[in-house]
Amino acid sequence: MNKLFIEGFDGTNGRAEVYEVVEIDGSGIEQVRYEVLFRDDRKLVASMGEASVLASELAGDSRFRDPGAQWHDLRR
């Protein structure tokens, strides 16, 4: 198993980190998943986008929150 740090999210709830996890299954095929670490919890998800949104929400980082509101603010 190889594990590579992708990004950290710092917010009002603390820090969440996203890692890319690469494993080789029994038939020799490479499997890529993304791990989100927050406090003592660990979740594996299928995509980096899903991992980033989850990490952002857990940490309380507003980076991915309500993109419609961000667009609205840019148009003012």
- Model-level pTM greater than 0.75? yes
What is the count of structural domains for the chain?
Answer: 1
Residue 76 pLDDT grade (very low, low, confident, very high; cuts 50, 70, 90): very low
- Condensed to tens digits (0 to 9), the pLDDT of residues 9-65 reads 999 999 999 999 999 999 999 999 999 999 999 999 999 999 999 999 999 988 776
Instruction: Domain of residue 46: give its range.
Output: 2-75
- Provide DSSP, 12-60: TTEEEEEEEEEEE-TTS-EEEEEEEEETTEEEEES-HHHHHHHHHHHHT
